[in-house]
């Protein structure tokens, strides 16, 4: 994962590619991306029941993620604009 200033800031739309599957996971967060990614990884490693789609997908299909290839697609502080931006990026995929 690129360690840029954007990685430290909050309010991102981001995507994570699967390691063994030709697809991506796309989402948005108002928190620091680093914090959110660590939560995903911890949930998967500890196998703690989690409401996250990433954990559930990993558990159900045993797909892994390319944690070192996460891309920040946009930064947006407004929640409604972040949701719109996320939808636009999903449609582009």
In the chain the domains, ranked by start, together with CATH numbers, are 5-92 (3.40.1440)
Query: Is residue 43 very low, low, confident or very high in pLDDT (cuts 50, 70, 90)?
Result: confident
* pLDDT computed for residue 4 by the predictor: 54
Report which DSSP code applies to 63: -
The predicted model gives 66-72 an average pLDDT of 92
**What is the SS3 assignment for 36?**
helix
Rounded-to-integer distance, Cα 54 and Cα 65, Å: 9
The rounded distance, in Å, linking the Cα atoms of 12 and 48 is 25
pLDDT in the model for residue 44 = 83
Neighbour order of strands in the sheet with 71-75: 24-32, 10-17, 71-75
CA angle 39, 41, 46 (to 5 degrees): 95
Q: Which residue has the higher pLDDT, 50 or 74?
A: 74
For residue 83, give both structure tokens. 């949701």
């Amino acid at each position: 994962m690129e360690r840029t200033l954007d990685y430290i800031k909050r309010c991102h739309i981001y995507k994570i590619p699967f390691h063994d599957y030709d697809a991506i996971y796309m989402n948005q967060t108002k928190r620091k991306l680093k914090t959110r990614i660590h939560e995903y990884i911890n949930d998967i490693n500890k196998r703690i029941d989690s409401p996250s789609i990433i954990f559930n997908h990993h558990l159900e299909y045993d797909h892994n993620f390319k944690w070192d290839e996460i891309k920040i697609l946009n930064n947006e502080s407004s929640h409604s604009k972040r949701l719109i931006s996320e939808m636009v990026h999903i449609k582009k995929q």
